[in-house]
Amino acid sequence: MQSIKAEYAERGSEPHKLINAVPFDTPEPGAGEVLVELLAAPINPSDLLTLTGDYGVLPDLPATGGNEGVGKVIQLGAEVSGLEVGQTVLLPIGCGTWCSHLVASAKDLIPLPGQADPLQLAMLTINPPTASLLLSEVVDLQPGEWVIQNAANSAVGGYLVQLAAERGLKTVNVVRREAAVDAVKRQGAEIVLVDGPDLAERVAEATGKAKIRLAIDAVGGEASERLAACLAFGGTVVNYGMMSGEPCQVSPGQLIFRGITLTGFWLASWFRQASPEAQQQLFGDLIGKIAAGKLSAPVAATFPLSQVSEAVHAASQGERDGKILLVPG
């Protein structure tokens, strides 16, 4: 049986020109392994940074794209227990998920509810845990407190709005264009502001001068300084992305005279340090919410794997509301 995978042999500034769908012979699962057929895999900012060579960890070339996704078990190898043919499973993170068929160790697969939307399940591994941990691992927030975030129209931003509301937290959500405001409000956000030099004044007015201790930054550049200015004395800016392509800028005045802390968050580091029990608890909670329809992200478009170049190009465009996902065909 022939399969296809999205492969690239070099990195560069125009990744859609470097990645292509190529055929290969479908592998056979060995002992303790299963053959999985792809159901859906998203294209995340981290995937694009991997293709350009700007991400923190880069695979050897040539490589297959994709860091997360869901599939269906179609063949069991010898000595496999606990999984069944036809079962929906979460693919191992970073395994090259833009592939119609792949072999994986059975112990690395997480069974998922078969009745849940595979497009939503496909986005489970990276963005929802990032949003959840940004709210819990940086500052010890209590119900009723405020959080401010930029890039609120991103997938992480949307998940963060939903999870914050469930935890009794209130959010100020900042976007970079007026056209993105309505999309964030559809995720449940009440306060959505367009970024600008007077952001701190508008945040104070919108929140009644609330004490905000945590700012979540995915943009970098001057946007980091604008978030810092919105915080109370001793507050923390946590950066997890570089949408501006520029280093975070926080002035000495914020750091010295207002006691602002600038730190970073990378999900891969959390995974390396967290116990298996902590990881299981996090994913169990998120899987339950997604399966019940209580946590979701908008989907802008799906592309067949054979059109991966067009899909990567679409995902590289800034002005869209929702994720681009790859599906088998």
Question: How far is 42 from 44, CA to CA, in rounded Å?
Answer: 6
> What is the 8-class DSSP label of residue 262?
E
**Best CATH choice for the domain 2-123+297-327 from the list 3.90.180.10, 3.40.50.300, 1.25.40.10, 2.30.38.10:** 3.90.180.10
Q: List, as one string, the DSSP characters of 136-156.
A: HSSS---TT-EEEESSTTSHH
Query: Is the per-residue pLDDT at 97 higher than 90?
Result: yes
Which pLDDT tens digit goes with each residue over 165-190?
999 999 999 999 998 999 899 989 99
What is the pLDDT at residue 277? 92
Question: How far is 326 from 196, CA to CA, in rounded Å?
Answer: 35
Task: Tell me if domain 2-123+297-327 and domain 130-267 are identical in fold.
Answer: no
Q: Which pLDDT band holds residue 317 (cuts at 50, 70, 90)?
A: confident
Q: Strand, coil or helix: what is 91? A: coil
Query: Cα–chain-centroid distance for residue 181?
Result: 20
Which residues, in sequence order, are bridge partners of residue 118?
none
Which pLDDT tens digit goes with each residue over 114-157?
888 999 999 999 999 999 999 999 999 999 999 999 999 999 99
Which residues, in sequence order, are bridge partners of residue 263?
238
Which pLDDT tens digit goes with each residue over 44-76?
988 999 999 988 889 999 999 999 999 999 999
What is the pLDDT at residue 114? 81
Pairing of strands 110-111, 146-149: unpaired
What is the pLDDT at residue 106? 93
**Best CATH choice for the domain 130-267 from the list 3.40.50.720, 3.40.630.30, 3.40.630.10, 3.30.420.40:** 3.40.50.720
Question: How far is 210 from 215, CA to CA, in rounded Å?
Answer: 13
Query: Is the per-residue pLDDT at 326 higher than 90?
Result: yes
Question: Which whole number is the average pLDDT over 88-116?
Answer: 91
Q: Which residues are catalytic?
A: 55
What is the pLDDT at residue 276? 87
Domain boundaries, the chain: 2-123+297-327, 130-267
Question: How far is 307 from 263, CA to CA, in rounded Å?
Answer: 38
Query: Is the per-residue pLDDT at 259 higher than 90?
Result: yes
Query: Is the per-residue pLDDT at 2 higher than 90?
Result: no
The one-letter amino acid code at 56 reads: G
- Cis amide linkage into residue 62, ω under 30° from 0: yes
Which pLDDT tens digit goes with each residue over 200-248?
999 999 999 999 999 999 999 999 999 999 999 999 999 999 888 899 9
> What is the 8-class DSSP label of residue 253?
I
Mean pLDDT, the chain, integer: 94
Predicted TM-score (pTM) of this structure: 0.88
